[in-house]
Structure 1
Amino acid sequence: MTPADTMISVKATQPASRRNDLAVAVVVTLAMVAVNALGGFPGLTDAGGDNDSLLRLVEVRDMLAGQGWFDLHQYRMGVEGGFVMHWSRLVDAPLAAIIFVASALTGSMAVAETIAEVLWPALLFCLALLFTIRAVRSFAGAGAVLPAVVIGAAALHFIGIFSPGALDHHNVQLTLTMASLSLLLEAPVRRWAALLAGLCAALTLAVGMETAPYVATIGVCVSLLFVADPSGERRIAKDFGLGFAGVSALVFLTTIAPSVWGQPQCDAFSTVQFVVAALAGCGLAAVASLDMANSTLGRRLIALGLLALALAAVLVVLFPQCLAAPYASLDPRLKQMWLGHIEEAQSIFRLVFDNPAMVVARFATPLVAIVLMALRFSHGGWRRQDSLVAALLAVAFLVSAWEVRGSTFSIAFAVIPLSAWITKWRQRAETNPSRGSMLRMATAWLISVNAVWSGAAEAASSAFETNAAAKDASADAACHGKASFAALGRMPATTVLAISNLGSPILAFTGHRVFAGPYHRNVAGNLLVFDALLGSASDAKVVVDNHHVGLVALCRGNPESRLFATNAPGGFLAGLMRGSVPDWLEPVAETRGAPLELYRVRPTD
């Protein structure tokens, strides 16, 4: 049986269905934007601690102000001279284009930025929902489109990366990964789908290394499907490989400065990723194209096995440093005082004790989806689309168990089998409208919606939340709101000493510079802040004098402030929180009692 024979319906590839799916995605997106508009777009005035989106906006502003395309320095963060960010210009470019055009039309940079903060996440939400619907249509047929729209939109909204103001790259990565999956599901009956799938896989890897496990999984699936069914998968494997290698080369040439082509970077797209992608993509395309390499099962296995060995040899011999854990070389103090307290970087085993409500909200629907795929496998009739969906879902679940941020992908992938499950019970309820079938259908709907699990978990956990905890959370949120930085923004530009959680908001909402920011490459700046805030007031004074600090900012309700005070009760920051102000500082009167308190460094004689 060929892959085309195993597809649920050829209708999934017809232009009419694509237009209908696009129309539905657009309508749902417009409804989401309207709801946010009625609420006043709160995410635009209170980032809620989304440091990455704020710094992305700063990075785009810098580029529009003339900073070079290849220059990824963040000059206003870190020690003097700043540090090089690991982000990609592939995300900066469309944001800059939107702001540039909008500012030309409106005459206001502030209005243009607001337009970009609303339009960009909405556009990505629309595309992510569209590709989710397309994937579900290919996986379970046209009857599953309604569940895909409902639980797909609910899931994408729940994960929170498409809200107005969300300029971080994770929404781009999820959209591209879902696009690659959707296109591969359609590839047997759509000529250019595999080539486009390879293109999307290369782009999502270029945007950030977080998606490397999913890109690798997609590549392995394409290869194994070709091994199992060469007649049906040969063209798909060849086109995917060419698209993946070609776009990787294009990204390397256009986003990496020639002066650093020889400098491998493990945390960003560089010569490492380019060499591996080019070898993997071209190698797969060659094996799929040459009869001498694919005419028999044994030859296909040998050829692809040799390709895998070549890839492994390249990594081991040329780039062994990239085989280590992502943060293996990070300073121990940063691991203890920063990385170990980033909630999205925690494992499921730690969250079970620290935040069980998050475990339920983030892992329930993916786990149900995995069980559904296991049942499908046990019942027989396994299809190529089952292999693609199951592999990505399983890998995403494993990644999320290691770091909860991976649940962004597992929740999205889970929509596909969950939609098929709901469709099955809807069809049974229609053919046999009994109370039992209706109850099972309703149960399937409820179990498949993340908000149901999240609401139940939050309701249970709120019973144990104290008023003090609620008060602290409120204060923390205020320290990330734009209004809290108004007083700081009116002061002459200087260097501000503050915790890392305040770094990006200070850069986005004021003209000042900071030392600390929650980024693993900013080692020197973050350690300098550790020395100042965890050390004595005298230690802090040395940092202030040596680095020309003009202001100290304090947010009492921020978890990072409490962490520092707990770990160094005799330190400078803990003293400030107790009201012990050294004589070389003076409180800024207008911020006394405000969520963000400021202290001015007294001039020395």
Structure 2
Amino acid sequence: MSSAPSFTEPKSGRWIDRGRHAQWVLFALWLECVLVWMVRYWGSFDILDFRDPDDAMRLVQVRDFLNGQSWFDVSQHRVNPPFGGPMHWSRLLDLPIAGLIALFRPLLGAHGAEVVACVAVPLITLGILFLLFRRALRDFLGNGLSLFAIALLATSFAILAQTPPLRIDHHAWQIVMAAATMGGVLHHDPRKGGIIAALAMAMWLHISSEALPFAALVGGVMAVRYAQSAAEWPRLMTYMLVLVAGCAGLLLLTHGWTGSLMSYCDAMSPVYLAPLAAVTAALWIAHRLVPQDRAILRFLPAGVAGLAGAFLFARIGGRCLAGPFATLDPVVYEFWYKGVLEGLPIWKQDPMLRAIILLPSLAGIIGLCVAWKREPDPARRVQWLSLGLLAAGGLCVAILVMRSMSVAHLFALPGSAWMIAGLYARVETMKSALARVALVLPLCAISPAGLTSAAVLMAPAPLSVTPSTSCSSPAQIAALANMPTTTLFAPLDIGPSILLRTSHSVIGTGHHRNVAGIGKVVHAFLAPPDQARPIILSTSARYLLVCPNLDETGRYRKAQPNGLVAQLVAGHRPSWLTPVKVPGVDYMLVYRIER
């Protein structure tokens, strides 16, 4: 392999390096993804068959906003009434969905407008991701290799899984912010790069507190760059200053003055903002006091700043030191949170998912390491080093939290693109056509799609598919609307769909701030019938639902064979529950709660 693939250094004579041609290629790659997704999910559009409860809950939140709920109030008032279910989601991500619904509602009606918005927003998000990823890499890699990296992105299972139609939750926007942050790290102007990275990171932190380790990672990468070159100081300092200002501004914009002063462990709030400010202040002071004429001395301010931030967080963090789910009681943590596989570390996943998490990242990291090793230009070596650190750090986060693998894979894509392109450049010089064909096939195997396919073949796992006869299917949930409006004591996993498709309320959904509601559902379903009754009667629920073929139900039955849910599925009904036949509900057990 040469020191860099031949098309990493753009030549004006190549058609791909002409801006308008590159833009058309980018558009074609995006359009290909759109067409595939449209064909794949066409039958799901009209019934809004969301594949994740969070997507349904997002649309419920948007509906509430359009119906007059306050900008500053993202709680769900039909969850655990009369108290309501607190939520930690960003209102900002409701805007694109709400905007399209408001735009198309006069033309298509409420339902048609929701379908258009829920189909269009993920696809538009994917287009923005393509644009930002190309912009991040173009100046460094050139049009050819940056477009090839996007072509690999279009084969990345972990990334594309967050962008199909109806996938309106916040995960795709996190990947978008990661691409923008990468652009800031690599930007040729240190000050502008710091601003870009900080604004993207502030938004990312506002979307999800899962960005906290990535905020530290990006700061660490910039500190390494500064240690390499004193000219990089503006990038690091600007990043910290704008990050603190951006986080504070977004907090005030979305929560108001009073709400901005409240600390939460699961979202950007003063408990995290104060240590960020301490890091910024300590960084500036240490930079002023410590001589900056040697690399090791230039790295010292970042170390002092990190210690200052960690010290302050240790003093004020309180229960947040135990993590964002510290408020959950042990039973809820065991029987609900541990069932959310995307939030668990790699050692809690099945072998197939472990391979899917690891292989694309490791391939990209290998490519980045080789590129850094073989790059003769010092400035470009720093760029390769930055990408390598981002990819390695992203993999570490993904090992701890599975859902972060999409960002980890994004950071690794430039290394995969460089490695495959470099190997192909060698294959292309071979005289034998048969040899060229034979050696191109293995190159496909080290692409994200090839590695993911290899993981599936090596460690296959059964696919989880919701059949049309499932009690959690859209038709079954919608049939519950035939009941008079009431409050339902229902499984957590179908709570958002009930809110979306009916006017009923529920006691709990799988959203952790509603500690009281989740706790009552889990404890009641696990408890023997006589112990479950007082728990259920303490709520406002009038009817109880059991979904026999739901994964959540299976966990309750396995854990407590004598629990309420297990007994009901087995056909043993306590006297205080009366069966109710609801028209259209064929696969769900519905009971009236006798008080």
Smaller-chain TM-score bracket: 0.7 to 0.9
User: Mind listing any 5+ residue stretches in structure 1 that lack a counterpart?
Assistant: 1-6
Structure 1's 512 and 248: CA in aligned 2 closer, same or farther, altered over 3 A?
Answer: same
Shift of 1:404: 1.6
1:132, 1:238 → 2: CA distance? Answer: 24
Deviation sequence 1:82-108 (CA, Å, 0-9, x none) = 2321111221233222222222x4252
Backbone CA RMSD of aligned residues: 3.2
Shift of 1:504: 1.2
Query: Which stretch shifts more, 269-278 or 335-344?
Result: 269-278
1:142, 1:155 → 2: CA distance? Answer: 20
Structure 1's 86 and 564: CA in aligned 2 closer, same or farther, altered over 3 A?
Answer: same
Structure 1's 328 and 81: CA in aligned 2 closer, same or farther, altered over 3 A?
Answer: closer
Shift of 1:532: 2.3
Deviation sequence 1:236-290 (CA, Å, 0-9, x none) = 33443343233223212212221233322221111233333444456657878x6
Contact 1:532 / 1:539 at 8 angstroms: preserved in 2? yes
Contact 1:117 / 1:167 at 8 angstroms: preserved in 2? yes
Name 1:357's counterpart in structure 2.
Answer: 352
2:274, 2:153 → 1: CA distance? Answer: 36
2:275, 2:431 → 1: CA distance? Answer: 55
Q: Structure 2 length normalisation: TM-score?
A: 0.88
Name 1:421's counterpart in structure 2.
Answer: 419
Name 1:4's counterpart in structure 2.
Answer: none
Select 1:516's aligned residue among 508, 525, 541. 508
Name 1:260's counterpart in structure 2.
Answer: 259
Select 2:562's aligned residue among 556, 567, 570. 570
1:199, 1:10 → 2: CA distance? Answer: 30
Indicate yes or no: 2:485 matched with 1:448: no
Secondary structure of the residue aligned to 1:601 is strand
Structure 1's 495 and 281: CA in aligned 2 closer, same or farther, altered over 3 A?
Answer: same
Name 1:599's counterpart in structure 2.
Answer: 590
Q: Structure 1 length normalisation: TM-score?
A: 0.86
Shift of 1:225: 0.7
Contact 1:148 / 1:419 at 8 angstroms: preserved in 2? yes
2:91, 2:550 → 1: CA distance? Answer: 31
Name 1:538's counterpart in structure 2.
Answer: 530
2:248, 2:123 → 1: CA distance? Answer: 29
Shift of 1:36: 3.1
Structure 1's 304 and 413: CA in aligned 2 closer, same or farther, altered over 3 A?
Answer: closer
Structure 1's 23 and 242: CA in aligned 2 closer, same or farther, altered over 3 A?
Answer: farther
1:504, 1:189 → 2: CA distance? Answer: 46
Shift of 1:547: 2.4
Select 1:306's aligned residue among 291, 304, 308. 304
Structure 1's 426 and 455: CA in aligned 2 closer, same or farther, altered over 3 A?
Answer: closer
Shift of 1:79: 5.4
2:21, 2:118 → 1: CA distance? Answer: 27
Q: Which letter maps to 1:564?
A: Y
Shift of 1:123: 1.3
Contact 1:400 / 1:407 at 8 angstroms: preserved in 2? yes
1:193, 1:139 → 2: CA distance? Answer: 13
Q: Which letter maps to 1:35?
A: V
1:18, 1:78 → 2: CA distance? Answer: 55
Contact 1:503 / 1:516 at 8 angstroms: preserved in 2? yes
2:150, 2:229 → 1: CA distance? Answer: 32
Q: Which letter maps to 1:230?
A: A
Name 1:384's counterpart in structure 2.
Answer: 382
Name 2:149's counterpart in structure 1.
Answer: 148
Query: Which stretch shifts more, 396-405 or 52-61?
Result: 396-405
Indicate yes or no: 2:136 matched with 1:167: no
Structure 1's 253 and 326: CA in aligned 2 closer, same or farther, altered over 3 A?
Answer: closer
Contact 1:243 / 1:281 at 8 angstroms: preserved in 2? no
Secondary structure of the residue aligned to 2:165 is coil
Contact 2:525 / 2:563 at 8 angstroms: preserved in 1? yes
1:477, 1:334 → 2: CA distance? Answer: 29
1:591, 1:297 → 2: CA distance? Answer: 71
Contact 1:476 / 1:557 at 8 angstroms: preserved in 2? no
Name 1:405's counterpart in structure 2.
Answer: 403
Contact 1:183 / 1:193 at 8 angstroms: preserved in 2? yes
Query: Which stretch shifts more, 115-124 or 274-283?
Result: 274-283
Contact 1:8 / 1:138 at 8 angstroms: preserved in 2? no
Contact 1:447 / 1:453 at 8 angstroms: preserved in 2? yes
- Counterparts of residues 480-495 of structure 1 (less than 5 Å): 480-495=472-487
Indicate yes or no: 2:221 matched with 1:221: yes
2:319, 2:540 → 1: CA distance? Answer: 37
2:164, 2:403 → 1: CA distance? Answer: 16
Structure 1's 454 and 579: CA in aligned 2 closer, same or farther, altered over 3 A?
Answer: farther
Contact 1:121 / 1:165 at 8 angstroms: preserved in 2? yes
1:591, 1:338 → 2: CA distance? Answer: 29
Shift of 1:546: 3.5
Secondary structure of the residue aligned to 1:599 is strand
Q: Which letter maps to 2:253?
A: T
Secondary structure of the residue aligned to 1:41 is helix
1:294, 1:42 → 2: CA distance? Answer: 62
* Identity across matched positions, percent: 25
Deviation sequence 1:175-210 (CA, Å, 0-9, x none) = 11111102322x115973432222111111111111
Name 1:122's counterpart in structure 2.
Answer: 123
Indicate yes or no: 2:497 matched with 1:505: yes
Contact 1:244 / 1:281 at 8 angstroms: preserved in 2? no
- Counterparts of residues 71-86 of structure 1 (less than 5 Å): 71-78=73-80, 80-86=82-88
Name 2:100's counterpart in structure 1.
Answer: 98
Shift of 1:484: 2.1
Q: Which letter maps to 1:332?
A: P
Name 1:333's counterpart in structure 2.
Answer: 331
Structure 1's 9 and 247: CA in aligned 2 closer, same or farther, altered over 3 A?
Answer: farther
Name 1:585's counterpart in structure 2.
Answer: 578
Q: Which letter maps to 2:367?
A: L
Q: Which letter maps to 2:396?
A: L
Structure 1's 430 and 298: CA in aligned 2 closer, same or farther, altered over 3 A?
Answer: closer
2:42, 2:223 → 1: CA distance? Answer: 45
2:277, 2:22 → 1: CA distance? Answer: 34
1:218, 1:329 → 2: CA distance? Answer: 29
